[in-house]
Chain A
Amino acid sequence: MTALRERALVLLDSTPSLPRHVRIQFDPVRQAYAVLSPERVFWPDEISLDILRRCDGRTSVGAMIADLTAEYDAPEDEVAGDIMTFLQEWADRLLVRP
């Protein structure tokens, strides 16, 4: 059994980034942001896009939560839950690096 890598867990102090094979790009034909990855194109909604844009390798998950709680004027625990779930899902598909 080769165990070179481990599943990465998203924590409050993680500073997620997008791996090289994932790219956010504005598509002028459809007037929308697309996330390009091997074999798949995603069309993120506004909230997903707000999270993915903050995956710059410097912003911590905690800071994202504080930031988006203020921006959306929503309860912090709700925003925190949504962000952590979203990022873990994307990390499990190797689309985000925690």
Chain B
Amino acid sequence: MSEALLPPIGMLAELTHRCPLQCPYCSNPTELMKANRELDTETWLYLFRQAADLGVLQVHLSGGEPTLRRDLEQLIAGLSSHGVYTNLITAGVGIAEGRIEAFAEAGLDHVQLSFQGAHAETTERIGNHRGGHQKKLETARRVRAAGLPLTINAPIHRHNIGEVPDFIELALSLGAERLEIANVQYSGWALVNRDALMPDRDAVERQMEIVGQAQERLRGILNIDFVTPDYFAIYPKPCMGGWARDAFMVAPDGTVLPCHAAHTIRSLTFERFGDRSLAEIWTDSPAFNAFRGTDWMQEPCRGCERREIDWGGCRCQAMAIAGDPAATDPACVKSPVHARMGMLIDDALASARAEKAAGNPPEESFIYRRIAATTQLA
């Protein structure tokens, strides 16, 4: 370790893999867990206490759909009693009457609501959930009525990249403080569906222009966070702010990982909360220490002046595209296999053209996220 180990600031808690939506870019693993493997209320509460003691200041309650946990109010109250800032990440369909108010009462600090499209037809087609858009609009209204701050999250890909201006209007009309225009990251289900989701270069450029102008125009009115598309990038993102540097995630069964895609690095073994404490896992787990700091780096990262800016980028993307989790993230122009990103874009666009020529509707090429769908992948 080239620098002192600091305590973690943030934690993503995937409370469940159950979800009413079936988005083909879901960041959950392609092998989804059923409800019987989820941690119980007591164990989550115990884990949250340890997280707070360890230094965690912010917890993102996610899934799957976290509101499917009937004990969510209790979990929020537990975190809140330790002074932890709580952020609910929800799809916003089917939240029972009175629950949003109960979350607020329990101490919830912030809600992030996803929209698959800026228009009803898109939202329903991408999430494969009829009536979804209308339910989300209603959820947004209830969130604001409960006095909670709201972020709209828009995952962007080929089928909705043209709706970016409409997403901005939607966020404004719903009274949101923040909008995330988040280009899909190709891990989990998105990697399976990459050919069906990849946007073209012109659309990406137009999007960047539109977002840049809106950020300027809406300064002090709406915060727009832009998550750039890796495949079109010159430099990689500091994924998770650096591997096991200031954040981690917990899967529904209590497995503790440096990021939500880390399980795709098969050479690593991840430990479960309960077998060891969070503090032990954070400090000693070989999987956490594997890519911490800069000592593990190879060239060109090792000698690069950006090594402590992007920490080598995403380890899971290095695994997926370069076949080596210790390689430079191929999103980086300095990666020896950077050209593969461009080839993968071209492959995806060629496959999209072929589908279109055959007259196939786009959703026919989606492998929708669901438990049974994993058999199609085998």
Interface 1/0 per residue, B101-113 and A, CB below 8 Å: 0000000011010
| Alpha-carbon distance between A30 and B246 when the two chains are bound, in angstroms | 13
Of B7, B169, B220, B225, the residue contacting A39 (CB under 8 A) is B225
A4 near B223 with CB under 8 A, answer no
A34 near B219 with CB under 8 A, answer no
| Distance (whole angstroms) from the CB of B21 to the closest CB of chain A | 22
| Distance (whole angstroms) from the CB of A92 to the closest CB of chain B | 4
| Distance (whole angstroms) from the CB of B100 to the closest CB of chain A | 15
| Alpha-carbon distance between A42 and B148 when the two chains are bound, in angstroms | 21
| Alpha-carbon distance between A4 and B168 when the two chains are bound, in angstroms | 13
Interface 1/0 per residue, B49-70 and A, CB below 8 Å: 0000111011000000000000
| Interface check A73, CB cutoff 8 A | no
A4 near B175 with CB under 8 A, answer yes
| Interface check A91, CB cutoff 8 A | yes
Residues of A contacting B148 in the complex (Cβ-Cβ under 8 angstroms):
20
A7 with B219, Cβ < 8 A, contacts A23-B109, A34-B57, A41-B58 known: yes
Interface 1/0 per residue, B79-95 and A, CB below 8 Å: 00001010100000000
| Alpha-carbon distance between A43 and B307 when the two chains are bound, in angstroms | 23
A38 with B7, Cβ < 8 A, contacts A21-B109, A92-B219 known: no
B residues adjacent to A (C-beta < 8 A): 7, 9-10, 53-55, 57-58, 83, 85, 87, 109-110, 112, 147-149, 151, 169, 172-173, 175, 177-178, 219-223, 225
Known: A20-B147, A38-B177, A92-B219. 15 other contacts (CB 8 A): A2-B172, A2-B173, A3-B172, A7-B219, A7-B220, A20-B109, A21-B110, A23-B85, A25-B57, A36-B85, A38-B87, A38-B110, A38-B178, A41-B9, A94-B220
